[in-house]
Amino acid sequence: MDAGTTGEARKPLLRALSGEAVWPPPMWLMRQAGRYLPEYREVRKQAGDFIALCTTPDLAAEVTIQPIRRYGMDGAILFSDILMVPWALGQGLRFAEGEGPVLDPLRDATAVASLELDKVRERAAPIFETVRLTRAALAAHAPKVALIGFAGSPWTVAAYMVEGHGSKDFRTARGMAYADPTLFGRLIRTLVDATTDYLLAQIEAGAEAVMLFDSWAGMLPPGQFRRWVIEPSAAIVRNVKRVHPSIPVIGFPRLAGPLIGEYAQRTGVNTVAMDTAMDPRLAASLVPANVGLQGNLDPLSLVAGGIALETEARQILAAMRGRPFVFNLGHGIEKETPPEHVAQLVRLVRSGG
């Protein structure tokens, strides 16, 4: 169900992701569905735990659509988590209250060999049903809104799988990549295959664009970045494009710094998402003109609202005018964000700044 073959490339977000300089730019926000919305908190209570919410299609579809209903964003991103791929591979996963994700640490060849690549589609079937339900609801009630599927990129997902939890430095995972690159490479190849299949299934279910989140890309020095961030991401993009050449792919190499240009050139993504620390004008000079940019408002300026929010947003809009661009944040919405500040931002972006 490629956008280019269904006539839905007219959707503003898909036009921008496909290389058109749309103005005012289309917008959506990372973590736009989540804890800052009272309607989300009500659904979260019904689900019980976080994994149950991600794997109950009716509830996950409702959460995905909530910010569209409230704000009229141009993109709805599937409500899920980057660690659902390790979960689908059979790695133990739970989300501890106040701690974040906790996984059974993967530290040796036996653990890597135990990952069940052939079970990913079966285990993740409820997530693909969420995509189907969401796409149908958008077609009926918000036909100009594009549905974005996503996955974590192999480096970031592997870092959690090896470490067993979130970390400030992912020391164990980075150490494995240096000390046993053969074993780490085997894990990365498994994740390339699993992530490809996971994204292809989302596209088959109705996703019109997909995004790769490499949240911890900036942990790595240039040589490691090229090996564990750029090369696996490029492999996934090639695999997806081989089957669905017109589906746009967004890449988010968070904290890549000046390597954002090389990432854009070598991975084959259609659009690169900028993190909060990236100067949009620098990114525009490093990223090829035919590759779009997405970002990169500081989520804390959205918490502040008012003049601070308007000043930051206008600077980004001024820097991006004239090139393919999607307005977004440089990281996910903070849970303390007042919903009315998001409404303020939507009005500003819709006006073109």
Q: Which residues partner with 101 through β-bridges?
A: 95
Catalytic residue among 81, 197, 214, 298: 81
Distances (CA, A) of 241 to 145, 196, 219, 227, 235: 22, 10, 28, 21, 10
User: Rounded CA gap, 248 and 19, in Å?
Assistant: 9
Catalytic residue among 15, 36, 40, 44: 44
φ/ψ region of 327 (left if φ > 0, alpha if ψ in -120 to 50, else beta) reads: beta
Specify the CATH number for the domain of residue 343. 3.20.20.210
Whether 237 contacts 154, CB under 8 Å? no
Strand residue runs (E) in the chain: 75-77, 93-96, 100-103, 146-152, 209-214, 249-253, 271-273, 292-297, 325-329
CA 264 to chain centre: 16
CA 33 to chain centre: 13
Catalytic residue among 35, 123, 227, 350: 35
User: End-to-end distance of the chain based on CA atoms, in angstroms?
Assistant: 34
- Nearest CA to 297 out of 247, 334, 257, 339 is that of 334
CA 205 to chain centre: 17
Catalytic residue among 31, 135, 174, 323: 31
Task: Please tell me the predicted confidence (pLDDT) of residue 9.
Answer: 55
Task: Please tell me the predicted confidence (pLDDT) of residue 98.
Answer: 75
Distances (CA, A) of 343 to 1, 252, 275, 329: 32, 25, 22, 14
Q: Determine whether 31 is an active site residue.
A: yes
What is the three-class DSSP state of 112?
helix
* CA quadruple 73, 34, 100, 80: dihedral, nearest 10: -60
Give percent helix, percent strand, percent coil of the chain, each to the nearest 5: 55, 15, 30
Domain that holds residue 298: 3-350
* CA quadruple 89, 331, 259, 283: dihedral, nearest 10: 140
Q: Determine whether 347 is an active site residue.
A: no
- Nearest CA to 151 out of 66, 89, 99, 243 is that of 89
φ/ψ region of 31 (left if φ > 0, alpha if ψ in -120 to 50, else beta) reads: left
Q: Determine whether 197 is an active site residue.
A: no
List pLDDT tens digits, range 222-254. 999 999 999 999 999 999 999 999 999 999 999
Distances (CA, A) of 279 to 28, 45, 68, 295, 320: 20, 39, 29, 10, 11
User: Rounded CA gap, 118 and 260, in Å?
Assistant: 33
Q: 256: which DSSP letter? A: -
List pLDDT tens digits, range 276-291. 999 999 999 999 999 9
Task: Please tell me the predicted confidence (pLDDT) of residue 1.
Answer: 44
Q: How many domains does the chain have?
A: 1
Catalytic residue among 36, 40, 71, 160: 160
In the predicted model, residues of the chain with pLDDT beneath 50 are 1, 3-7
Q: Determine whether 44 is an active site residue.
A: yes
Q: Which tokens belong to 35?
A: 């804890």
User: What type of residue sits at position 338?
Assistant: P
User: Rounded CA gap, 105 and 280, in Å?
Assistant: 37
Which H or E run contains 215?
Answer: none
